[in-house]
């Protein structure tokens, strides 16, 4: 059936962009989406110059424009002829204390990270059920493990996404559809560079390589990297609020 194909949302920057490079190097055809088509076109040209045998298809997609997602993914499916893996990766982060930061900022985080992701998964499942197989991958976060100060909406969006994907895994248990949820810690990307503290931060190339390994193993759930976040994640859930408030 030729090369496997992977579709990545939020592919114009950060972990999505880095993952595109890693998967191209591993021989995958790519379907890349983001809001900024000009960045996708540059990425497409760069990847195809280095890997001329790889097919790269790009489509503009704002995941908060829910009604557009079916058409975008169907179009990519037609161009690639199949979608083996769909990485639901588009996301934003806006920090601020609840009741002080604009409500519109908090809702924007929910609309992108949770509602947009739910829509992407729903559209992807339609394609997977039609073709008879598929692998759903969602980018959650270590922020899913505990509500953190100045990031209430972000934590809620990622916690909601993790739980949503767990439910999807149950619903697709008897189908040939794998479900993976990845919880990255601090990976050096634009989304977190303004933070004063980024414990155990890793560069984006290393993060993308770990991502690719976990995806190819079809793990159900994992932190990225696994250590030390696989130990810190459960600990976050039981630490006293007084300690969490100091972070």
Catalytic residue numbers read 154
**Separation of first and last alpha carbons in the chain:** 50
User: Phi/psi at 176 (nearest 5 deg)?
Assistant: -85, 60
**DSSP per-residue letters across 173-208:** TTTTEEEEEEEE--BSSTTTTT-S--TT-B-HHHHH
Length of the chain in residues, anyone? 247
Calculate the alpha carbon distances from 147 to 96, 160, 221, 242, 245 in Å: 13, 12, 19, 13, 10
Quick one: DSSP state of residue 143? G
The helix/strand/coil state of 93 is coil
Distance, in Å, from the CA atom of 60 to the CA atom of 10, rounded to the nearest integer, reads: 10
**Packed helices 204-217 and 14-25: angle between N→C axes, nearest 10 degrees:** 60
């Amino acid at each position: 059936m030729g090369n496997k194909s992977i579709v990545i949302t939020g592919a114009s920057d950060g972990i999505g962009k880095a993952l595109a490079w890693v998967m191209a190097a591993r021989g995958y055809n790519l379907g890349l989406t983001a809001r900024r088509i000009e960045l996708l076109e540059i990425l497409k040209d760069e990847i195809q110059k280095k890997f001329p045998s790889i097919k790269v298809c790009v489509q503009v997609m704002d995941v908060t424009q829910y009604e557009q997602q079916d058409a975008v993914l169907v179009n990519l499916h037609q161009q690639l002829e199949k979608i083996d893996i769909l990485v639901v990766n588009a996301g934003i982060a806006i920090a601020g204390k609840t009741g002080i930061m604009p409500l519109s900022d908090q809702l924007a985080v929910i609309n992108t990270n949770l509602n947009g992701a739910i829509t992407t998964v729903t559209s992807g499942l339609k394609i997977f059920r039609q073709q008879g197989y598929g692998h759903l991958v969602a980018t959650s976060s270590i922020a899913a493990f505990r509500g953190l100060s100045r990031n209430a909406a972000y934590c809620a969006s990622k916690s909601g996404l993790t739980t949503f994907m767990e439910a999807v895994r149950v619903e697709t248990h008897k189908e040939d559809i794998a479900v993976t949820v990845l919880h990255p810690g601090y990976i050096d990307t634009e989304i977190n560079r303004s933070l004063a503290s980024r414990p155990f931060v890793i560069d984006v190339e290393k993060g993308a390589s770990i991502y690719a390994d976990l995806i190819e193993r079809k793990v159900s759930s994992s932190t990225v990297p696994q250590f030390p976040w696989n130990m810190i994640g459960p600990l976050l859930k039981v630490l006293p609020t007084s300690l969490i408030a100091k972070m």
